[in-house]
Amino acid sequence: AAVIKRADYIAPAYWIDTVDLCFDLDPAKTRVLNKMTLRRNPDVPAQALKLDGEELNLARVLVNGQGTSFKMEGKQLVLDNLPDAFELEIFTTTCPAKNTQLMGLYVSNDSFFTQCEAEGFRRITYFLDRPDVMASYSVTLRADKAQYPVLLSNGNLVAQGPLEDGPNGARHFAKWVDPHRKPCYLFALVAGQLVSREQRITSRAGKDHVLQVYVRPGDLDKTEHAMNSLMHSVAWDEARFGLPLDLERFMIVATSDFNMGAMENKGLNIFNTKYVLANQATATDLDFSNIESVVGHEYFHNWTGNRITCRDWFQLSLKEGLTVFRDQEFSQDLAGVASARAVKRIEDVRVLRTAQFPEDAGPMAHPVRPDSYIEISNFYTVTIYEKGAEVVRMMQTLVGRKGFAKGLTLYFERHDGQAVTCDDFAQAIADANPTSDLARLLPQFKRWYSQAGTPRVHAQGVYDAAERTYTLTLAQSCAPTPGQPVKEPFVIPVGLGLLGADGKDLPLQPAGETDAVAGTRTVVLTQASETLTFINIAAEPVPSILRGFTAPVVLEFDYTDAQLLHLLAHDSDPFNRWEAGQRLAVNRAVNAIKSIAYSAGGSDASVLDDAYLEAMRQVLLHPTLDAAFKELVLTLPSETYLAEQLDVVDPQRIHAVREAMRQQLATALAADWEATYQAHHDTGAYAPDAASSGRRALAGMALTHLCLAAQASGDAVWPGKTLQRFKDAGNMTDRFNALSALVSSGHALAAEALPRFHAMFKDEALVIDKWMGLQAGAPDRGGNILPAVKQLMKHPDFSLRNPNRARSVISTFCQGNPAAFHRADAAGYVFWSDRVIELDAINPQVAARLARALDRWSKLAEPYRSAAREAIVRVAAKTDLSKDTLEVVTRALA
């Protein structure tokens, strides 16, 4: 397959100024008439016009109304000898009903939807399908009125009415005009039987807008939260960045068949139902919070992505990293108080470290701005999104919050309406802050865009009692990644504090400076190794390094247990307070995993010592810490995160050790879990706010541990109470937490609760996804999960064609349940390769994501390693693989 290279970028040979599309919508044969005006781009040498197309039936091509000769080069339609400016008319047909890839125009539940990013527009009509070609669109939709009463596209509705071309009144049309120029990946249409929740709002600037959330009839009672989230998003972008809604009408439409989370099409966002539909009976607190983030994310794209877009797809993080940063800030601002902001920050870092760090250390590692790809869909990654957001966050750290807002304003002044690069963005932020560290260090800072891999910062501290100084040496390094053997030093902002014996922050006075500043100082590393000396330090302090996780790096410091316990008890920085607890747990887990003594396995082996357990008890019973924060501290590092701390990975051993730790936490703190449950289980009338979600999370965690403890002691009281709670719960969070407590503790009552849950929610697709996911992700006990997964795939509710459903069973098993997946008999891998091959024929994007489950195969211990490789080879050997899956397995084997 062809490799596309960033260095090969050239501007398009033609510009497309206007596009007038007319659709006759029919599931079996949709007719598309595309009238465009084009002009030659004088900046590039004269050449043929090559239009992208895929799975289209071409009926007619007219240039200025005249038939014309054309040829096909592969999938491209090639026209030669064109005038400098002309009208081009192309008539094609497609079959949306057979579109199982869910790219381009497709049918879901008898409605029409589109997905064009990145390269789906070419499946709708022949076009210059690249983001730097921006045009003005008008769109006419024509369809049967009874079947498709709602006809939507981008922009403003300018006309609608009956059509005369069928039986009287049977067909109708709607015409939409988008006032903003846009790249074709932001085009969208929707047609079907939909209903909407509507909200009129007036902006700060006094403009009126209408917001709409469209869903299938029957789902209207699940749209209030999405609408609230949208209203908050509009208000937030205006307040924090001065960016108003630029459309009279802003629409969100939900579909249950969708490859990703959602899509920011101009004025017509299309969403996976998972990120729209919620009420307290069917959605958990996590769902509510995800909806808020994703609604925010797509809305914020209206400026960062749509008003200013990407020049080419290598610049994807220009819009994605920035927009993730914006949605993270939005959620933090909505969460309000500092402790709730910190909880959000910890959650974001946890995602980064459990998903992005492994990506950056594996065969798919790529820079935030990649240099090459085979299939761009494979590069909608945690690196582009989450690491990209960290890069933007570091810029904000370097220029300050106000400076960053100024930088964003300059970015819009310079580039509104353009398709630009990551360089343009960084330059604008730096230019708006000419005296900042970012401006001073910009070329080096931009290594974050060009170098893949997670840097490690190795810190060492020396206290000199005689001199009353504390000297920190910070050395950075970054391991090679595919194609990048040598890395240059990064610019790394490091938030730093020193704790005294009383747990308070010491005043920080670097040698040579006259002032001491209490609290956190941000030092900016630029060299391979640097030394910092602080003076007037009366006694040896405990360093708190990388406060707030100021850079996406691994911090190595040889903390003693006593130091970590001190940080856990006192650090004024909540991130590092949490981090201290994680380090204590990681150290214990890694020691147990490596120890020969433990190799006999057996979950009664003791991994946790009294000091650790006592520290956890202190957190659990702490009088002032937030429940949400306690829940994060008491959550052990995931098996995936533990795997990343090891050179050789034995997933069974990791699982056994972590399960033993869970069991110990449950048993040793049983009385405290009980007290915690009693203190937190009643959260009153349901509201998905941060405070009450935190209480529910902690109560749910307590129940799980109480059930685990009961399993060990044979006690029946808490499992019985849990089943009762499952039955009586007034909201999905409490109900699902109770159900998963029974399932994850392996209690027999789970067998009673699971079918009851299914019966209660059999008509709620998103709840059935949870039901399947819970079973596919349950702790493995003697290899019981794979057979359960195979059974689930035979369930009448299962479908491989619906991405949410396929992911809830297959991805949860292969990517979310390491010990169940990595079986010594290799059956998990065989299952994986069968599913990847099967899915690839249906939906390459979903298949290629699943294909990444074995990214880290080369770190596995035998027999897993060889068996995993064999399974990848088996997939790679299949002929006719999609580019998507081929690229993933080829890189895995490289």
Four-residue CA torsion sign, 565, 570, 573, 578: positive
From the list 298, 320, 386, 644, the catalytic residue is 298
Distance of CA 35 to the CA centre of its chain: 37
Q: Which of residues 448-487 bind Zn ion (CB under 5 A)?
A: none
Q: Which of 260, 506, 524, 632 binds ligand B3K (CB under 6 A)?
A: 260
Query: Applying CB under 6 A, does 257 fall inside the site for ligand B3K?
Result: no
Give the type of residue at 534: F
Q: Which span sits near ligand B3K by CB under 6 A: 259-267, 340-348, 400-408, 692-700? A: 259-267
248 is catalytic: no
Write the DSSP assignment of 462-523 as a string of letters.
EEETTTTEEEEEEEEE---BTTB---PPPPEEEEEEEE-TTSPBPEE-BTT-S--EES-EEE
Q: Token pair for residue 861?
A: 């211990």
Question: Which one among 19, 56, 105, 118 touches ligand B3K, defined by CB under 6 A?
Answer: 118
Instruction: Provide, rounded to whole angstroms, the least separation between the CB of residue 293 and ligand B3K.
Output: 11
Residues between 317 and 356 that touch Zn ion (CB under 5 A): 320, 323
C-alpha–C-alpha distance, residues 318 and 313, integer Å: 9
Beta carbon of residue 124, minimum distance to ligand B3K (angstroms, whole number): 15
Q: Which does 118 bind (CB under 5 to 8 A by kind): ligand B3K, Zn ion, none?
A: ligand B3K
Min dist. Cβ of residue 379 to ligand B3K (A): 9
Binding to ligand B3K by residue 872, rule CB under 6 A?
no
**Could you say which of ligand B3K, Zn ion, none residue 292 binds, taking C-beta under 5 to 8 angstroms by partner kind?**
none
Cβ atoms of 435 and 408 closer than 8 Å: no
- Say which entry of Zn ion, ligand B3K, none residue 117 contacts (CB below 5 to 8 A, set by partner kind): ligand B3K
Buried b (16+ CB within 10 A) or exposed e, 582-607: bbbbbebbbebbeeeebeeeebebeb
- Size, binding site for Zn ion by CB under 5 A: 2
Measured distance between the N- and C-terminal CA atoms of the chain, rounded to whole angstroms: 15
Which of Zn ion, ligand B3K, none has residue 377 at its interface (CB below 5 to 8 Å by kind)?
Answer: ligand B3K
Is the bond preceding 863 in cis, omega lying within 30 degrees of 0? Answer: yes
Contacts of 293 (CB under 8 A, 6+ apart): 327, 328, 330, 331
Binding partner selected for residue 123 from Zn ion, ligand B3K, none, CB under the kind-specific 5 to 8 Å limit: none
By beta-carbon proximity to ligand B3K, the closer residue of 118 and 567 is: 118
Region of 7 on the Ramachandran plot (φ > 0 left; ψ -120 to 50 alpha; else beta): alpha
User: How long a stretch of residues is the chain?
Assistant: 894
Tell me whether residue 196 or residue 845 sits nearer to Zn ion (CB atom): 845
Query: How far, in Å, CA of 174 to CA of 163, rounded?
Result: 10
CB of 260 to ligand B3K, least distance (A): 5
**How far is residue 736's CA from residue 731's CA, in Å, rounded to a whole number?**
9
Specify the residue, 317 or 693, whose C-beta has the smaller distance to ligand B3K: 317
User: Contact, 148 vs 111, CB < 8 A?
Assistant: yes
Sole binder of ligand B3K in the list 380, 404, 578, 677 (CB under 6 A): 380
Q: Is 255 helix (H, G, I), strand (E, B) or coil?
A: strand
Nearer to ligand B3K, 295 or 608 (CB): 295
Q: Are strands 30-40 and 85-94 parallel, antiparallel or unpaired?
A: antiparallel
Residue ranges in 293-312 that form contacts with ligand B3K under rule CB under 6 A: 297-298, 301
User: Going residue by residue from 573 to 612, which x/- string records binding to Zn ion, judged by CB under 5 A?
Assistant: ----------------------------------------
Task: Tell me: does residue 888 bind ligand B3K (CB under 6 A).
Answer: no
Residue number with CB closer to Zn ion (390 or 505) = 390
Residue whose C-beta lies closest to ligand B3K? 117
260 binds, among Zn ion, ligand B3K, none (CB under 5 to 8 A by kind): ligand B3K
Quote the least distance from Cβ 380 to ligand B3K, whole Å: 5
- The β-bridge relationship of strands 507-508 and 517-518 is antiparallel
Distance, CA of 232 to CA of 817 (rounded, Å) = 36
Residue 263 CB, shortest distance to ligand B3K, in Å, is 5
Q: Does the protein bind ligand B3K through residue 320 (CB under 6 A)?
A: yes
**Least spacing, CB of residue 53 vs ligand B3K, in Å:** 18
> 674-693 b/e with 16+ CB inside 10 Å = b?
bebbeebbebeebebbbbbb
Residue from the set 24, 26, 54, 117 that interacts with ligand B3K by CB under 6 A: 117
Name residue 763's amino acid: D
Whole-angstrom Cα distance, residue 183 to residue 311?
10
Q: Binding segment for ligand B3K among 126-134, 219-227, 255-263, 864-872 (CB under 6 A)?
A: 255-263
- Residues 190, 253, 263, 697: which binds ligand B3K (CB under 6 A)? 263
Backbone angles phi, psi at 105, to 5 degrees: -95, 125
- Least separation in angstroms between CB 237 and ligand B3K: 15
Q: Would you name the residues annotated as active-site residues?
A: 298
Q: What does the binding site for ligand B3K look like in residue numbers (CB under 6 A)? A: 117-118, 260, 262-264, 297-298, 301, 320, 377, 380
